[in-house]
């Protein structure tokens, strides 16, 4: 009988093979800190490292909203992970993105300038174009 982590590993392996092809090997998967409502994982593969968030079946809307926000943030001068896929898996949901090796900020002036530029981006309406989440709490955006 396999454990829940072994089942998740098989599903992650299958998902990554769909993205990268069957020549991709999942070398190691490690649970890491970072999520309060989702499990955060570091997947080391023959094609590179990836950051994954997994949750129950009800988390697919949250993960899709997060992926949408990350894709939008890529338009800014901040370095954010590239989203590869968001999909349902057996009994849950999975967000796969580029793994970033974080390091301390070296140029605080440039960082502050990027933050100012981000906050100067405006839209004709307040909020986001779809409902999103703060943790497990839905934030309604009635556009």
Q: In this structure, what token pair is assigned to residue 124? A: 């004709």
Instruction: Please state the rounded mean pLDDT for residues 110-123.
Output: 87
- Name the band, by pLDDT with cuts 50, 70 and 90, for residue 67: very high
Is residue 118 one of the residues assigned to a domain?
A: no
Nearest 10 degrees: Cα torsion 21, 27, 33, 35: 20
CATH (domain of 73): 3.30.200.20
pLDDT of residue 4: 72
With cut-offs at 50, 70 and 90, classify the pLDDT of residue 108. Answer: very high
- Arithmetic mean of pLDDT, 64-85: 92
**pLDDT score for 75:** 86
Structural domain includes residue 138: no
Q: Let me know if residue 143 belongs to a domain.
A: no
Whether 36 has a pLDDT exceeding 80, the answer reads: no
Q: Is residue 36 part of a domain?
A: yes
Report the domain count for the chain. 1
> Residue 98 belongs to what domain range?
4-102
What is the number of alpha carbons within 13 Å of residue 72 lying toward its C-beta? 12
Indicate the pTM of the whole model.
Answer: 0.87
């Amino acid at each position: 009988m396999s454990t829940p982590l072994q089942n998740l590993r098989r599903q992650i392996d299958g998902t990554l093979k769909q993205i990268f092809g069957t020549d991709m090997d999942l070398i190691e998967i490690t649970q890491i800190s970072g999520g309060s409502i989702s499990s955060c994982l570091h997947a080391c593969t023959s094609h590179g490292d990836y950051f994954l968030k997994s949750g129950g079946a009800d988390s697919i809307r949250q993960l899709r909203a997060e992926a949408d926000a990350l894709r939008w943030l890529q338009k800014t001068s901040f370095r954010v992970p590239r989203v590869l896929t968001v999909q349902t898996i057996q009994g849950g949901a999975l967000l796969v993105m580029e793994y970033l090796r974080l390091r301390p900020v070296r140029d605080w002036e440039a960082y502050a300038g990027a933050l100012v530029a981000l906050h100067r981006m405006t839209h004709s309406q307040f909020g986001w174009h779809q409902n999103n989440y703060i943790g497990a709490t839905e934030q309604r955006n009635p556009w």
